[in-house]
Chain A
Amino acid sequence: MAVGLLFAAKSLFPAVPPLMPAIGAALLFLSASTGACLGRQVKVAWRRSFPSSGEVWPQGELLVLPVPSTMSAPRVREIVREELAGLRYRPCLRPPQPSPSATLTATKHSLGHWGSPLLHLGLLLIAAGTALIAFTQTWGRTVVVEGERFVDRRGDYVVFRQAPLARVQPMRVKFVVDRVQTAYTTSGQVDDYSATITLLDDQGKPLRRTIIAAGQPLFAGKVTVHRHRFGYAPLLVLGHSRQSAEPFGLAALVVVDTLGQIGDGERYEGEFVEPLSEQRLRLRFFPDWEARAGRNLSSRPRRPAVELALLQPDTRQTIRSTIIPLGSSSSLNGLVVAFQGYRRWISFTVTSERGRPLLFAGFALAVLGGGLLYLLNPREVHALIDPAGQIKLRGSSKQGASLFAQELAVLSKRIEARLVREGGKSA
């Protein structure tokens, strides 16, 4: 189990930490210990099912209480039964017919016996679910520009990374992003973002339209679509100033990613190679150029501008840069650039995984089992009314032997008090 878990973890989470050997060793120890514990429990269950002739009494300390000679055995048994019931035990006579050798057996919190098996079964199911996800998951990320339909280069579907046993080949997901909406905190920084996406069928007909945001993925059949990142895609028209007759020859939609929140407002950055002169350029998009921190609370850019910088090909240091507001143009090292528009983009994580029901079932079982295990302490008390005028009390508990011994002592004191009250002091 431990090896399987490690393998699953390695496949599912490539960025495993250097602490993995320690985690693996701990899992190995726990697996071996669970095996040993299981073996012991099977042995105990076997002994209980097929007791040998000498195993009438459980192990544990024996308490002997004297019975007044004036009291009959059935009355004493009744008193013991009532006192056990008072401590919330469930007494029954074994064998059911009253006889001198009949033992009063009382149990409490018997449901707790199920705790450990259920907890371990739950953890095993979680491990199995994780492994199933690792081996059958289809997973990937893609960028969709606002207003555009997603089209993969290899066809009208998405091809993602697939686990060795994944059967969805390839995963067919088609969607179009209608709108990306950003939300701001009071400090003016982007706090979260959502996108309205439409899922399409094979003919391109809309199937479902929904808003996707943090904590609100789109569940569609076998696939789940989560939002991942978002940014801007400025539309630049590029040309060379030497070609005066046709200065603008090429349009480029450059995807720029979130750079972070730096004092002067939001910034998005990306790099690209300009195809005419093959110069490396860095593009920064400012939704609100000259905005001060905390002032841009509009969900749409107000005074958008791009900063274009010519970079050293090897060191990527800035050689020269220029700022271009929306609708303007500027030249940079012989290159004429016009900033004509922008769109937003959003990237999605699309997954298809079969192990999720197992994962949830395992979680529920582990919680149930853990609750039973740690809230209930199963225990048994055996009482034998000896014909020689004694009550023999003995019991066992699954855990908390010291606390159980105290409970047994309380029980014996109560029984003694009842016997004295009803039958007088014994000799």
Chain B
Amino acid sequence: MIQGLLQRELLLHWVSVGFYAISAILFLFATSFARPRVLRSAFCLTVIGMGVHAAAFALRWAVTGRLPAIGRYETFSGLALVGVITFLVVGLVRPELRWTGVLVMPFSFLTIGLGVMASPEIRAAPRSFATYWLVIHVLFAKLAFGASLVGTSLAWLGIWKGRDSAEPRREVTPPEPGSFPAPAALDELSYRFIGLAFLALVIMLISGSIWANLAWGAYWGWEPVETWSLIAWLVYGIYLHLRRTYGWRGRRAAWVATLGFALFLFALWGLGAVFENQHSRYFQ
């Protein structure tokens, strides 16, 4: 019975990988050749892919009886799902920002691809996982990933569109449906999304340390994932200050945002494979 459900769940995951791959190609095509119609199709495919992905994730949650956050398969699947949901929410609220799919979708495809290549075997959760702090910690880590992915994509999309001008140009006319937003608006939205990622990282770090204290009697252990997540958070803090206090905009700010995103990715993806640590025991 469980084996059958797991096979269906794996199949659904692979179907969503297919949808994400096609939508990533369509987003690239739509952006390269400025085709709003293709963009709409890509967005619709992403919605369907997300639905299938969410069903797979929910099925796994039901089968395991816990939040799927153990092992590379579950972790990467969860990260991709939250990244795509963040993008879809942004795209539904502000249709002119659907162009960010050109960066978000290939990245989400890569993330879920890395996940489904890992072993889908179910691993039992240790007793220390039976706490709501785990849900807060993991969900906000994923939200931080989704927000920083969308934020960094917006920053680079703004630079790409405004590449002819030195500074992002401000336009007072609201964008027409399907048209490309002004580079300055993209730059500002990027700032807001990275602000959201910063806030999610605060919650992730603090809830993680409260959980660690409850489980092991120590708030912080300077283990690699903790340390690099803290560094990513500090870089995002510096980014926000550079923008608010020192007026950094455009390309310079985008590079700092990208550095923060790269550090966060390194903490999420890279460290588990390099160093043995508390996180990698559950992540690998």
Taking a contact as CB atoms closer than 8 A, the residue among A12, A126, A399, A402 that contacts B184 in the complex is: A402
- Pick the residue among A22, A215, A370 that contacts B199 (CB under 8 A): A370
Report the interface size for chain B: residues with CB under 8 A from the other chain: 53
Instruction: Bits for B185-218, please: 1 = Cβ < 8 Å to A, else 0.
Output: 1011101100110110011001000110111111
Cross-chain contact A406 with B128 (CB below 8 angstroms): no
Q: Are B202 and A366 in contact (CB under 8 A)?
A: yes
Q: Are B216 and A406 in contact (CB under 8 A)?
A: no
* Contact A409 B128, beta carbon cutoff 8 Å: no
Contact (Cβ within 8 A) A226 B216: yes
Tell which of B55-63, B106-114, B234-242 binds the partner: B234-242
- Enumerate chain A residues within 8 angstroms of B170, measured Cβ to Cβ: 401-402, 405
A37 beta carbon closer than 8 Å to chain B: yes
Chain A residues, CB < 8 A from B128:
192, 214-215
Which of A366, A405, A408 is packed against the most chain B CB atoms within 10 Å? A405
Consensus secondary structure, chain A interface: helix
> Which of B172, B184, B195, B217 is close to A228, meaning CB atoms less than 8 Å apart?
B217
The answer to whether B188 and A402 have CB atoms under 8 Å apart is yes
Instruction: From B5-13, B26-34, B220-228, give the one contacting chain A.
Output: B220-228
In-complex Cβ contact of A191 among B124, B173, B214, B217 (8 A)? B124
Verify B217–A27 contact, CB threshold 8 A.
Answer: no
Cβ of B131 under 8 Å from chain A? yes
Q: How many residues of A contact B (CB 8 A)?
A: 55
A215 near B215: Cβ-Cβ < 8 Å: yes
Task: Decide yes or no whether B130 CB sits under 8 A from chain A.
Answer: yes
Q: B252 in the interface, Cβ–Cβ < 8 Å?
A: no
Bound complex: CA A250 to CA B86 (Å): 68
CB proximity of A192 to chain B, nearest CB, Å: 4
What residue of chain A has the Cβ atom nearest to residue B211's Cβ?
A: A215
Tell me whether B165 is interfacial, beta carbon within 8 Å.
Answer: no
With contacts A13-B222, A217-B217, A402-B171 known, is A374 near B199, CB below 8 A? yes
- Residues of A near B163 (CB, < 8 A) are none
Docked Cα-Cα span, A216 to B214, in Å, equals 6
Interface contact B124-A185, CB-CB below 8 Å: yes
- Determine whether B126 belongs to the interface, using a CB cutoff of 8 Å to chain A: yes
A370 to B185, CA, bound (A): 21
On whether the beta carbons of B241 and A30 are closer than 8 Å, the reply is: yes
Question: Do the beta carbons of B202 and A370 come within 8 Å of each other?
Answer: yes
Within 8 A of B (CB), among A213-266: 213-217, 224, 226, 228
Q: Which residues of A from 320 to 364 have beta carbons under 8 Å from B?
A: 349, 351, 360, 363
The answer to whether A297 has its CB under 8 Å from any CB of chain B is: no
Quick check: is A423 within 8 A (CB to CB) of the other chain?
no
Q: Report the minimal beta-carbon distance from A333 to chain B, rounded to whole angstroms.
A: 37
**In the assembled complex, how far is the CB of residue B90 from the closest CB belonging to chain A, in whole angstroms?**
14
**Contact flag A26-B235 (CB < 8 Å), given A12-B220, A367-B202, A370-B199:** yes
**A29 within 8 A of partner (CB):** yes
Q: Which of A46-66 contact B (CB under 8 A)?
A: 61
Contact A17 B227 (CB under 8 A): yes
In the bound complex, how far is the Cα of B167 from the Cα of A401, in angstroms? 14
- Chain A residues lying within 8 Å of B222, measured Cβ to Cβ, are 13, 15-17
Taken together as a complex, chains A and B put the C-alpha atoms of A226 and B238 apart, in Å, by: 36
Chain B min CB distance to A31 (Å): 10
Inter-subunit contact A215/B130 (CB<8 Å): yes
Instruction: List 13 extra interface pairs beyond A19-B227, A374-B195, CB under 8 A.
Output: A23-B230, A33-B241, A40-B245, A191-B127, A214-B128, A215-B127, A349-B218, A370-B199, A374-B196, A400-B191, A402-B168, A402-B187, A409-B172
The 10 residue pairs across chains A and B that have the minimum distance between CB atoms: A226-B217, A349-B217, A214-B128, A192-B127, A370-B199, A402-B184, A26-B234, A33-B241, A374-B195, A405-B172
22 A-B pairs whose Cβ atoms sit less than 8 Å apart in the complex: A13-B222, A15-B221, A16-B222, A26-B235, A30-B234, A33-B238, A36-B245, A37-B244, A37-B245, A214-B126, A214-B127, A214-B128, A214-B215, A214-B216, A367-B202, A367-B203, A399-B192, A401-B184, A402-B168, A402-B170, A406-B173, A409-B174
